Amino acid sequence: MFIFLDASWREARRIYRKSEYLQNIPCISISEKSISDYVMRKAIHEQQLATCEVAGIVLANSGFTEASSTLVEWFKVVTESYMLTKTQGARDFTRPKLQGFID
């Protein structure tokens, strides 16, 4: 079982520090070199990833490659859908990431 704190980095740190029960659970550190694809909010540092991206990495590194791929691909679908609501220029309503799941 994995527990992911879905919060900003500052909030997650605060939650972790204030929760004694979390401090007694083993932590997994990742050293991912990739830049986040998360576009809904801007990270302070390039190496800060979205919770979903971290979950995908942890699942992949733990041998759950199919679950990891599915999670990462659905994250791309959500990001694609979000960007359609924010883009003011020419929009691609074909939604290729979503179509990949439908086809």
Checking 97-100 for CB contacts under 8 A at 24+ apart, the result is: 97/73, 100/73
What integer best gives the mean pLDDT of the chain?
Answer: 80
Q: Note down the domain range covering 82.
A: 9-102
Cβ neighbourhood burial of 55 (10 Å; 0-12, 13-18, 19+): buried
pLDDT band, residue 56 (cuts 50/70/90): very high
Q: In this structure, is residue 89 part of a structural domain?
A: yes
Average pLDDT over residues 26-32: 80
- Please give the tally of structural domains in the chain: 1
Name the DSSP class of 40.
S
C-alpha pair distances (Å), 76 with each of 44, 68, 93, 99, 100: 21, 12, 15, 12, 11
Q: In this structure, is residue 4 part of a structural domain?
A: no
Q: In this structure, is residue 1 part of a structural domain?
A: no
Listed range (33-37, 70-74, 94-98) with the worst mean pLDDT: 33-37
Q: In this structure, is residue 3 part of a structural domain?
A: no
The pLDDT tens digits of the residues spanning 60-91 come to 999 999 999 999 988 988 887 777 777 666 66
pTM exceeds 0.85, yes or no = no
Q: In this structure, is residue 94 part of a structural domain?
A: yes
